């Protein structure tokens, strides 16, 4: 079944070798090169945001506020959130892996709108650098949530500039979203029907829909903040006749669906990795595909669960709680399906698989914590405590970042034409698992004890768990720095990768590694379902065959 | 205060055991399901690792009975947890009408409380054990949030509106008060202590504080100074609604019936046109900008006192 096209040396006839020099990269319409532009920018933002997290954890290693001042601490967590949410997590998988793989997975030569794709990167860079400039000028201290009237009237930091930068970056999201939707509708290869699409493509589709529909509301609310700050327009400040809760409604109307923008692509990556290394079709393919769409739709109906104690009506709270529990159902369907995909497989554990299993574990425990927060009376106690911090880091970091790392290793041979060092990859994946749990599990306990979030100093009685969390953060930081080093080195030293190093079935593996500029020498056609993995017969493998008592070839 | 490793917060209100029961039921459920799934994956990973001798007939990649079973099981469990959390939430929404009313003002970065007798406290609040206490909250600047972990209560304090938080303490002692909504530079210093005392100790404590006019007396003085009594007084020439006896009762307005609670009175002072009592003309001017958040609370306390002579509706 494996393709015969193998082992071309990289750089000959590949998209990497076409043209050199900054112009050839910065003005390229090739989705593969644009993916690299995004990857470099997002990596930089990830480590800037991560450095701020490390500084926060160092400050919190002691109960007193002694390392940095309170104003500095407030800027640290605000910028950490702004960078990580808007300049890393929202674009992370779609703009890098999605950009690179979406056309390859559906057998297309490029995205439908290549110029829009390049434009989206420039818009992204313009907006994000503008915000970064605001940060260097003195920072912003409103938290990533920009709650009014603090942000619109009281804060004397560079709120307008930061919000304006995020506003601009929103257009880049919309451009990417439109591009993906058009591409998936129009450019699928012959025979590639909707229910033959890889789940990764389904999640890109769901993500793109949410990006296009929700981002404009964020844009509106950020512009209203700037209007109130700069023009004195009374929108949110009660002293000017505005309503501060209006902002929270507008903000979460975007930002809750945005949470799904930030996790659906990770679900897509894991849905590719698990079947490949289990040699099994994805369990319950249709249910997994449709649950992504269900999450995207229900995600729009739950924003008020961020506002149970804000003073909104108790009956509104009850409806939002009900919808929040409903959105748990499609997530649970996915978790069960991923787990059962392993059943009766023939499982290998290279680095991407370790990351995928880490995702499965952390996403499950992060998701289960969500049940606590959706239960009204429990949320009254846990809201705005470290329990919430732990919950969303389990999903966003334990889930999305882990999936991103898994996907990066999985498709690294395809993207670069080089293999990464397997030994170091596994060490990094295991270090991520250990470091992550040490960092964030104690935060669940802190939250239940009543430790509020966004505190620069805290009472002594919380010390034990904070110290443990800070120690874990160091391990976690190392586990993220390791791939930076060995993946970087593998670009020059890595063993050349064959076309399909994992014996995977997707269309992207049917072309050389790295792919030619036109993606495929021959336009592929599709005749079967996705994940058409065949469980290798144990006899056919090697020693131990004589001990085999199974009957792998019994007809289905 | 340093007690080493803590796992459980203090439990010192009537809410705390209810919330904890649901919390620990969820811990048990989440733990069981999470560990089951983890165990399942570990067993599969070990049993079906490549080259392991295990039966592997070609799997079909789906099983409709399984999928229907877990989808409906998840939905049912979700519905149960939802109903439990929502039922408690609704029950706790109802504030006992005989609750002791304390007024609280949040501002960057302190809590100011006033007892009904006018006694003031900053970043500290003394309350009696075994009696419902309602804290009527207003903010002078940004959004804050009053959070007492030992009571399992939290309520945002939103500028431009009046919110309420109530509890009934069950244990004497000192419990932490936090601001839970980020409010600027010294957010993490906006903390204090709730001291729960036996009711007779609380009465003694109130007597020992510096005597000030009670909230209602202060409100009455304001009521005259601002000229409210000119129209709302019994012998007034201009026809304005009588305020005695209206507190917590339904009021007919042009647009429907509303309850004359603290929020209604507050709104009627600041935006008199919002709910005009039926049968009256909208002639009252707005007092927006003329009265502070603390003065509004005093006015509300006075108008409430006009209804206390009669029986408070249950």
State how beta strands B173-179 and B256-259 pair.
unpaired
Distance from CA of B151 to the nearest CA of A (A): 9
Distance from CA of A298 to the nearest CA of B (A): 14
Among the candidates B151, B183, B208, a domain finishes at B208
The count of domains in chain B is 2
Q: What is the CATH number of the domain that holds B247?
A: 1.10.760.10
Q: If pLDDT is split at 50, 70 and 90, which confidence band does A545 have?
A: very low
Distance from CA of A480 to the nearest CA of B (A): 24
Query: A454 — alpha (psi -120 to 50), left (phi > 0) or beta?
Result: left
Regarding whether B235 and B301 lie in a shared domain, the answer is yes
Is the pLDDT at A550 greater than 60, yes or no?
Answer: no
Residue B42 inside a domain? The answer is no
Regarding whether B129 and B188 lie in a shared domain, the answer is yes
- Contact assignment for A544 to B53 by CB distance below 8 Å: yes
Nearest residue on chain A to B189, alpha-carbon basis: A457
**Contact between A159 and A78 (Cβ < 8 Å):** no
Distance from CA of A161 to the nearest CA of B (A): 18
Residue B294 inside a domain? The answer is yes
Structural domain for B290, as ranges: 215-308
Mean pLDDT of A521-530: 88
A494 Cβ neighbours under 8 A, 6+ residues apart: A416, A418, A419, A420, A421
- Contact assignment for A150 to B183 by CB distance below 8 Å: yes
The 3-class secondary structure across A489-512, one letter per residue, is HHHHHCCECCCCCCCCCCHHHHCC
Residue B34 inside a domain? The answer is no
Nearest to B158 among A311, A379, A459 (CB): A311
Among the candidates B157, B174, B208, a domain finishes at B208
Residue B23 inside a domain? The answer is no
- Contact assignment for A347 to B49 by CB distance below 8 Å: yes
Mean pLDDT per 10-residue section of chain B, whose length is 314 residues: 74 94 95 94 90 70 81 90 92 88 93 91 95 94 95 94 94 96 94 96 90 85 85 76 83 84 85 82 83 87 80 43
Q: Check CB contact of A375 with chain B, cutoff 8 Å.
A: yes
* Sign of the torsion angle spanned by Cα atoms B48, B31, A406, A324: positive
Nearest to B51 among A379, A452, A544 (CB): A544
Is the pLDDT at A540 greater than 70, yes or no?
Answer: no
- Contact assignment for B158 to A556 by CB distance below 8 Å: no
Structure confidence at residue B59 (pLDDT) = 58
- Least confident among A204-208, A226-230, A418-422: A226-230
Residues 213-252 on A with a CB inside 8 Å of B are 237-239, 243-245
Annotate A31-54 with b (16+ C-beta within 10 A) or e (fewer).
bbbbbbbbbebbbebbbbbbebbb
CB atoms within 10 A of CB B117: 15
**Contact between A385 and B180 (Cβ < 8 Å):** yes
Is the pLDDT at A1 greater than 60, yes or no?
Answer: no
B226 Cβ neighbours under 8 A, 6+ residues apart: B287, B290, B291
Distance in angstroms between the alpha carbons of the first and the last residue of chain A: 19
- Contact assignment for B57 to A344 by CB distance below 8 Å: yes
Q: What is the CATH number of domain A29-538?
A: 1.20.210.10
- Contact assignment for A347 to B45 by CB distance below 8 Å: yes
The Cα-based distances of B229 to B235, B261, B277, B306 in angstroms read 9, 20, 17, 13
Regarding whether B189 and B271 lie in a shared domain, the answer is no
Token pair recorded at residue A170: 């929103």
**Contact between A300 and A553 (Cβ < 8 Å):** no
pLDDT digit string (tens) for A111-139?
999 999 999 999 999 999 999 988 888 88
**What residues of B are in contact with residue A318 (Cβ under 8 Å)?**
86, 89-90
Interface test with A, best of B32, B77, B135, B156 (most A CBs within 10 A): B156
Residue B12 inside a domain? The answer is no
A215 Cβ neighbours under 8 A, 6+ residues apart: A170, A171, A173, A174, A177, A254
- Contact assignment for A150 to B145 by CB distance below 8 Å: no
Long-range contacts of residues A9-12, Cβ cutoff 8 Å, at least 24 apart:
A9/A496, A10/A416, A10/A417, A10/A418, A10/A496, A10/A497, A10/A513, A10/A514, A11/A417
Residues 126-165 on A with a CB inside 8 Å of B are 141, 143, 147, 149-150, 153-155
Interface test with A, best of B12, B32, B141, B154 (most A CBs within 10 A): B154
Interface test with A, best of B51, B76, B135, B289 (most A CBs within 10 A): B51
Token pair recorded at residue A249: 């409604």
Residue B50 inside a domain? The answer is no
Q: If pLDDT is split at 50, 70 and 90, which confidence band does A380 have?
A: very high
Is the pLDDT at A484 greater than 50, yes or no?
Answer: yes
Instruction: Give the CA count within 13 Å in the CB-facing half-sphere of B228.
Output: 25
Structure confidence at residue B309 (pLDDT) = 63
Structure confidence at residue B91 (pLDDT) = 87
Structure confidence at residue A469 (pLDDT) = 96
Q: If pLDDT is split at 50, 70 and 90, which confidence band does A21 have?
A: confident
pLDDT digit string (tens) for A300-346?
999 999 999 988 888 999 999 999 999 999 999 999 999 999 988 88
Place of tokens 């748990």: A328
Structure confidence at residue A456 (pLDDT) = 95
Q: Provide DSSP, A378-444.
A: HHHHHTTBHHHHHHHHIIIIIIIIHHHHHHHHHHHHHHHSB---HHHHHHHHHHHHHHHHHHHHHHH
**Percent of chain A's residues with pLDDT above 70:** 94
Enclosing H/E stretch for B163: strand B163-168
Is the pLDDT at A4 greater than 60, yes or no?
Answer: no
Is the pLDDT at A8 greater than 80, yes or no?
Answer: no
- Contact assignment for A349 to B19 by CB distance below 8 Å: no
pLDDT digit string (tens) for A486-495?
999 999 999 9
Q: Check CB contact of A116 with chain B, cutoff 8 Å.
A: no
Structure confidence at residue A507 (pLDDT) = 94
Token pair recorded at residue A65: 């506020």
Structure confidence at residue A551 (pLDDT) = 40
Distance from CA of A120 to the nearest CA of B (A): 33
- Contact assignment for A281 to B59 by CB distance below 8 Å: yes
DSSP-derived secondary structure letter, B277: B
Distance from CA of A259 to the nearest CA of B (A): 20
Token pair recorded at residue A241: 């006749």
* Cα–Cα distance, A278 to A281 (Å, whole number): 8
CB pairs under 8 A between A and B: 301
Regarding whether B222 and B157 lie in a shared domain, the answer is no
Q: If pLDDT is split at 50, 70 and 90, which confidence band does A431 have?
A: very high
Interface test with B, best of A153, A455, A544 (most B CBs within 10 A): A455
Query: Over chain A, what is the mean pLDDT?
Result: 90
Q: What is the CATH number of the domain that holds B133?
A: 2.60.40.420
Regarding whether B242 and B147 lie in a shared domain, the answer is no
CB atoms within 10 A of CB B278: 13
Nearest residue on chain B to A318, alpha-carbon basis: B86
Residue B176 inside a domain? The answer is yes
Coil, strand or helix at B100:
strand
Q: Check CB contact of A346 with chain B, cutoff 8 Å.
A: yes
* Sign of the torsion angle spanned by Cα atoms A63, A67, A69, A72: negative
Among the candidates B208, B232, B248, a domain finishes at B208
Residue B51 inside a domain? The answer is no
Regarding whether B196 and B110 lie in a shared domain, the answer is yes
pLDDT digit string (tens) for A35-84?
999 999 999 999 999 999 999 999 999 999 899 999 999 999 999 999 99
Distance from CA of A207 to the nearest CA of B (A): 23
Distance from CA of B203 to the nearest CA of A (A): 30
Torsion of CA A17, A19, A23, A26, to 10 degrees: -40
Regarding whether B110 and B199 lie in a shared domain, the answer is yes
Distance, C-alpha A135 to centroid of its chain: 24
Question: Which residue stretches of A138-198 are H helix?
Answer: 159-186
Regarding whether B225 and B144 lie in a shared domain, the answer is no
Task: List the domain boundaries for chain A.
Answer: 29-538
**Percent of chain A's residues with pLDDT above 90:** 76
Regarding whether B191 and B231 lie in a shared domain, the answer is no
Q: Check CB contact of A60 with chain B, cutoff 8 Å.
A: no
Is the pLDDT at A201 greater than 70, yes or no?
Answer: yes
**Contact between A114 and A33 (Cβ < 8 Å):** no
**Contact between A90 and A172 (Cβ < 8 Å):** no
pLDDT digit string (tens) for A436-476?
999 999 999 999 999 999 999 999 999 999 999 999 999 99
Token pair recorded at residue B298: 């005093």
């Amino acid at each position: 079944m494996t393709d015969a096209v193998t082992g071309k040396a990289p750089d000959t006839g590949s998209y990497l070798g076409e043209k050199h020099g900054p112009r050839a990269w910065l003005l390229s319409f090739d989705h593969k090169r644009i993916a690299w532009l995004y990857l470099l920018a997002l990596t930089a933002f990830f480590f800037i945001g991560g450095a701020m997290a490390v500084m926060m954890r160092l400050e919190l290693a002691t109960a007193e506020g002694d390392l940095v001042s309170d104003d500095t601490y407030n800027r640290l967590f605000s910028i950490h959130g702004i960078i990580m949410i808007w300049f890393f997590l929202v674009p992370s998988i779609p703009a890098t892996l999605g950009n690179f793989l979406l056309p390859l997975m559906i057998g297309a030569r490029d995205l439908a709108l290549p110029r829009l794709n390049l434009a989206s990167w420039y818009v992204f860079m313009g907006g994000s650098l503008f915000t970064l400039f605001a940060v260097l000028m003195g920072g912003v201290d409103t938290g990533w949530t920009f709650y009014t009237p603090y942000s619109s009237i009281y804060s004397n930091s560079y709120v307008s500039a930061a919000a304006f930068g995020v506003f601009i970056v929103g257009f880049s999201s919309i451009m990417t979203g439109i591009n993906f939707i058009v591409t998936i509708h129009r450019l699928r290869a012959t025979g590639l029907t909707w229910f033959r699409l890889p789940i990764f493509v389904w999640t890109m589709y769901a993500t793109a829909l949410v990006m296009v529909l929700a981002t404009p509301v964020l844009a509106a609310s950020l512009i209203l903040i700037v209007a109130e700050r700069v023009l004195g327009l009374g929108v949110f400040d009660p002293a000017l006749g505005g309503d501060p809760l209006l902002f929270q409604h507008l903000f979460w109307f975007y930002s809750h669906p945005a949470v799904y923008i930030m996790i659906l692509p990770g679900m897509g990556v894991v849905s590719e990795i698990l079947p490949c290394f289990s040699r099994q079709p994805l369990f319950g393919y249709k249910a997994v595909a449709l649950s992504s769409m269900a999450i995207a739709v229900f995600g729009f109906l739950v924003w008020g669960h961020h506002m149970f104690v804000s003073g909104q009506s108790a009956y509104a709270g009850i409806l939002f709680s009900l919808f929040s529990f409903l959105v748990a159902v499609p997530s649970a369907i996915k978790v069960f399906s991923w787990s059962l995909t392993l059943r009766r497989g023939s499982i290998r554990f290279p680095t991407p698989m370790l990351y995928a299993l880490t995702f499965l574990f952390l996403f499950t425990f992060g998701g289960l914590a969500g049940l606590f927060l959706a239960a009204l009376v429990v949320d009254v106690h846990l809201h705005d405590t470290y329990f919430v911090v732990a919950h969303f880091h389990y999903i966003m970091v334990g889930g999305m970042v882990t999936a991103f790392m898994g996907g990066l290793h999985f498709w690294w041979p395809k993207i670069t034409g080089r293999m990464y060092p397997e030994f170091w990859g596994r060490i990094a994946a295991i270090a991520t698992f250990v470091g992550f749990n040490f960092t964030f599990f104690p935060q669940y306990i802190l939250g239940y004890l009543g430790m509020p979030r966004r505190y620069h100093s805290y009472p002594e009685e919380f010390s034990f768990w904070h110290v443990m969390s800070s120690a874990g953060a160091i391990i976690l930081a190392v586990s993220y720095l390791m791939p930076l080093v060995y993946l970087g080195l593998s670009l020059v030293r890595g063993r050349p990768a064959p076309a399909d190093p994992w014996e995977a079935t997707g269309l992207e593996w049917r072309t050389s590694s790295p792919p030619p500029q036109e993606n495929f020498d021959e336009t592929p056609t599709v005749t079967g379902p996705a994940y058409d993995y065949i469980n290798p017969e144990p006899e056919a493998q090697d020693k131990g065959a004589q001990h085999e008592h199974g009957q792998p070839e019994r007809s289905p | 205060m340093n007690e080493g490793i803590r796992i459980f917060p203090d439990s010192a209100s009537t809410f705390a055991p209810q919330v904890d029961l649901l919390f620990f039921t969820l811990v048990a459920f989440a733990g069981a399901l999470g560990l089951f799934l983890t165990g399942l994956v570990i067993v599969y990973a070990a049993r079906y690792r490549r080259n392991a001798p295990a039966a592997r007939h070609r799997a079909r990649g789906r099983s409709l009975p399984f999928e229907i079973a877990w989808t409906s099981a998840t939905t049912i469990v979700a519905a149960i947890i939802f109903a439990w959390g929502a039922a408690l939430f609704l029950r706790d929404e109802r504030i006992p009408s005989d609750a002791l009313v304390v007024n609280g003002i949040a501002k960057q970065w302190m809590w100011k409380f006033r007892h009904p007798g006018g006694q003031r406290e900053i970043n500290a609040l003394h309350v009696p054990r075994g009696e419902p206490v309602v804290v009527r909250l207003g903010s002078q600047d940004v959004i804050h949030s009053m959070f007492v972990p030992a009571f399992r209560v939290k309520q945002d304090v939103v500028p431009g509106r009046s919110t309420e938080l109530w509890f009934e303490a069950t244990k004497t002692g000192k419990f932490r008060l936090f601001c839970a909504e980020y409010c600027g530079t010294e957010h993490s210093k906006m903390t204090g202590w709730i001291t729960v005392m036996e009711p007779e100790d609380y009465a003694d404590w109130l007597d020992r504080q510096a005597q000030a006019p009670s909230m209602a007396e202060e409100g009455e003085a304001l009521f005259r100074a601002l000229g409210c009594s000119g129209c709302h007084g019994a012998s007034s020439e201009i026809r304005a609604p009588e305020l005695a006896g209206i507190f917590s009762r339904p009021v007919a307005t042009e647009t429907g019936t509303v309850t004359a609670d603290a929020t209604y009175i507050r709104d009627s002072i600041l935006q008199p046109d919002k709910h005009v009592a039926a049968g009256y003309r909208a002639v009252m001017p707005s007092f927006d900008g003329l009265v502070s958040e603390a003065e509004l609370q005093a006015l509300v306390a006075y108008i409430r006192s006009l209804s206390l002579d009669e029986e408070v509706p249950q």
